[in-house]
Amino acid sequence: MKNIFKRLLNVKGMVVEDVSIDDSPLRDAPVLVARVRCRKAALRCSRRGRKCPKHDDGGGERRWRHQDFGCYRVELVGPAPRVECRVHGVV
């Protein structure tokens, strides 16, 4: 099931861990929430694009707006890991 959502959401280099619908009364419309994490092989320096070892999870969970999926707004939720680049340090 998770692989289906990975293909439908087109999230490359990420692992979809869970998918749910948030239909809280605080929101205008229901939101499809996908919990994701980066594959270890996908961790790269944001400045030069080279693979680097993970430093930490970046201070908690982040939320990104993704392309709408039909009538649902889509949000990706997960850690934004930092890497330790030999050239740029922790980024």
**More confident of the two residues 3 and 68:** 68
* The pTM of the whole model exceeds 0.85: no
The pLDDT of residue 3: 63
Q: Examine the pLDDT at 72 and tell me if it is beyond 80.
A: yes
CB neighbourhood size of 36 (10 A): 22
Q: Of the candidates 55, 58, 46, 63, which has an alpha carbon nearest to the alpha carbon of residue 84?
A: 55
Structure confidence by residue, pLDDT tens digits, 15-27: 888 888 888 888 8
In this prediction, residue 45 has a pLDDT band, given cuts at 50, 70 and 90, of confident
Rounded Cα distance, 63 and 79, in Å: 9
In this prediction, residue 77 has a pLDDT band, given cuts at 50, 70 and 90, of very high
Beta strand pairing status for 31-38 and 72-79? parallel
Residue 67 pairs with which residues in a beta bridge? Answer: none
In percent, how much of the chain has pLDDT > 70? 87
3-class secondary-structure state, position 67: strand
